[in-house]
Amino acid sequence: MKFSLEWLKYFLETDATLDEIAAKLNAIGIEVEDIEDPAQKLDGFRVAEVLTAEKHPDADKLQVLSVNTGEGSPLQVVCGAPNARAGMKGVLGLPGAVVPANGMKLRQSAIRGVESNGMMCSVRELELGDEHDGIIELPEDAPVGEAFAQYQGTSPVFDVAITPNRPDCMGVYGIARDLAAAGMGTFKPVEPSGIEATHPCPVEIRTDDPEGCPAFYGRVIRGVDNTVPSPDWMQRRLIAAGQRPISAIVDITNYVMLAYGRPAHAYDLAKLSGPVVARRARNDETVQALNEKTYTLDDTMTVIADDNGVHDIAGIMGGEHSGVQTQTTDVLLEIAYFDPERIGVTGRKLGLASDARTRFERGVDPAFLDDGLAILTSLIQRVCGGEASEVVRAGSPPSEPKAVAFDPGLTERLGGIGIPEDEQRRILESLDFTVSPDWQVTCPLRRHDVEGAADLVEEVVRIHGLDKVASVALPRVDGVARPTATPEQQVERRVRRAAAARGLHEAITWSFLPTDQAEHFASDGEALWVLDNPISEDMKAMRPSLIPGLLSAAKRNADRGADGARLFEIGRRYLRGKDGASDEHPTLAVLLAGEKTPRGWVNGKAAMFDAFDAKAEAEALLAEAGAPVDRLMVMSEAGAQFHPGQSGTLRLGPKNVLARFGALHPATLDSFDIDGPVMAVEIYLDAIPAKKGKQGFAKPDYAPPALQAVKRDFAFLVPAELAAGNLLRAVKGADKAHLTNARIFDVFAGQGVPEGKKSIALEVTLQPGEKSFKDDELKAISDAVVAAAGKLGAELRG
């Protein structure tokens, strides 16, 4: 949310500096994200007077101006604006100034052979509006030579982040109240002037949806002149807030929303027919909104309608058909209180965001209906004239304030700081709470966030100063502290360090996914956890896998020119348990995308990652996590998200899947708009069996064997479909006492090998114990290896 310092000072009488106000905003929980000084963008632009204007000798549409800048001799400027003439005052950009609208740096140059020293500027070029038909015309009393930023009264602009629990600060008025309570000045409350009603309201106004719209107020103003522009001070404040001035009445409704956090709407009375009603929409009813898009509604949504149909998606956006235009002469002002939950659900269904929705779904002040309508009416009559009707009030807003029994001593017990009772009372009353002698605190209706005494402690402490809360160390008993990390946390630490040591970059992604991505990565028949009130539609489902988040991160990197991505993340997957409860599963995911090695004069083309790289990462990280890697089985069925011929699973037994790895399916990559290949690994840390005994990093001392190992080679003919890993595992189990390692060094099929067969050659390592092997012992081990292989249909090659 943006607002200018000048706007803030309209509601807050203060001598505090810009930096002091920014520091105090941060201290009371209104985070300042940025401070922009528009005067810096207008550096080099000054008020100037056109002394003479003559036709350019070589261009029909150009003039050569003699311009008085207030210093030295007049400057010669070539200008193409049709309204440029002798005697007028405007804004001159001097050489060296940068035009805000396009970033062009002005310089002395020749235009059609005539020297020009700068540029006379339009409203659009200085980003003060959309007009560009001519240059800015200033009043006759504008001081020649004065910096335009100073003449314009440009003011620094705050950009602040308002947390969802503080809808009362969604207007400059509420922020000024908080700053005044924190000692930054004196709050200047606005007392709406009385409006003289000259006639009954000619339009019936009612609410037929008291749940969605408990209160619906309105009045008609006849005889307005919407052709006049809104005042300069109002346009200046709206532009500072990022709003484009449109017309006087629209600008006034926007101003009231940004100033007081109170959205309202103005209808062209001539475009309405019959009663104006807040009601439920009908299924498949449509409305064209002010953003020129058409939305299909359903019967859960509240709308504002008349006999002709829907004119307004209640609390979110008005309709195109009934909006005010410059020729509008009679307007219906509407100000209402809408149910926050209904507004949020409707906005998410329609995928429609607006400033009004942001305020209504957080909860506006239900006590500000009459005052808001009076302020709107007063501003419209001041700017556009007109006669106001009586106010029609349909329904009533929530009006029962919340009362909280408060103990001032709770501030020290919960907040950690002792504050005198009279100071606590002053703080609460300055925030518009009512405090009785026995400390019954009545909350203003706009403070929906206050639910109990702890919330009042928070209010007192943040205004008094969180920086005044002393840092106190937690008590610690004598002796050596016990380890606080659980075995699961220790495993996560080890694999995190191991992944980083292997050249992978850690990513932290959201635990929420778009529903379609979550469904794509869910197991067959697995129900997702879907949030009823998500942050957005793109964060609606709890993730059943960590891979989608890493895919999104890889795409962002690729879109920004990264040649490859080596990412990992340790987090939780969220699955439905058998009893319907949420199950959290600690998981490690790895993503390898793009180039493994760049192209070069040795290897020619760049090498891409493949499924074997994914398997290597899976095995290395599983080993670090304590899994018995030498006993793992490589099996298929990695899931529909993976390429069926380039993926697999690592299992400890047929059913216990510790990890899945391989190339992701092209359909998966298409859904993320990623060019392949992309390799992924997902390790299920909670599936790794815990080691027996104590957990820790200490390892037994290593003593090398006294006798040299013996190596033997075996070549087997095996069925072509037999997985080499199965043969390797069988050989390793032939003699666990002496056979310490086995590895495959050759696989061959072709000439000399029978059809339907392949040759696999292995090297086995045999380690003697206290004495060297004898020939008969080596033969017995070799026979055991051959026998173990024979159970899989392997036979020793001759």
Q: Which residue has the tokens 């003060």?
A: 128
Task: Report the 10 Å Cβ neighbour count for 360.
Answer: 27
Backbone angles phi and psi of 668, in degrees to 5: -65, -45
- Pairwise CA distance, residues 37 & 41, whole Å: 8
Tell me which residue of 608, 607, 616 sits closest to 676, measured CA to CA.
608
Summarize the annotated binding site for Mg(2+) as residue ranges: 449, 455, 458-459
Q: Cα–Cα distances in Å, from 473 out to 417, 470, 476? A: 15, 10, 9
Residue 201 near residue 219, CB atoms below 8 Å: yes
46 DSSP β-pair partners? 92, 147
- Pairwise CA distance, residues 472 & 13, whole Å: 37
47 DSSP β-pair partners? 91
Tell me how far the alpha carbon of residue 790 is from its chain's centroid. 60
Residue 274 near residue 306, CB atoms below 8 Å: yes
Identify the DSSP state of 203.
S
- Pairwise CA distance, residues 32 & 25, whole Å: 7
Q: Which residue has the tokens 């003559």?
A: 54
Backbone angles phi and psi of 384, in degrees to 5: -110, -5
Rg of the chain (C-alpha set): 37
* DSSP conformation letters of 129-193: -S--SSB--B-TT--TTSBHHHHHT---EEEEEPPTT-GGGSSHHHHHHHHHHTTSSEE----PP
| b/e burial code for range 266-283 (CB count within 10 A of at least 16 → b) | bbbbebbeeebbbbbbee
Q: Which residue has the tokens 């803030």?
A: 8
Q: Cα–Cα distances in Å, from 743 out to 729, 733, 739? A: 10, 13, 11
Counting beta carbons within 10 angstroms of the beta carbon of residue 211, is it exposed (0 to 12), middle (13 to 18) or buried (19 or more)?
exposed
Residue 589 near residue 683, CB atoms below 8 Å: yes
Q: Is 255 helix (H, G, I), strand (E, B) or coil?
A: helix
The verdict on whether omega for the bond into residue 677 sits within 30 degrees of 0, i.e. cis, is: yes
Task: Report the 10 Å Cβ neighbour count for 647.
Answer: 23
Identify the DSSP state of 772.
P
Residue 712 near residue 743, CB atoms below 8 Å: no
394 DSSP β-pair partners? 216
Residue 262 near residue 283, CB atoms below 8 Å: no
Summarize the annotated binding site as residue ranges: 449, 455, 458-459
- The residue type of 140 is E
- The residue type of 319 is G
What size, in residues, is the chain?
798
| b/e burial code for range 569-595 (CB count within 10 A of at least 16 → b) | bbbbbbbbeeeeeeeeebbbbbbbbbe
Task: Report the 10 Å Cβ neighbour count for 436.
Answer: 11
- Pairwise CA distance, residues 446 & 401, whole Å: 9
Backbone angles phi and psi of 344, in degrees to 5: -65, -45
- The residue type of 678 is V
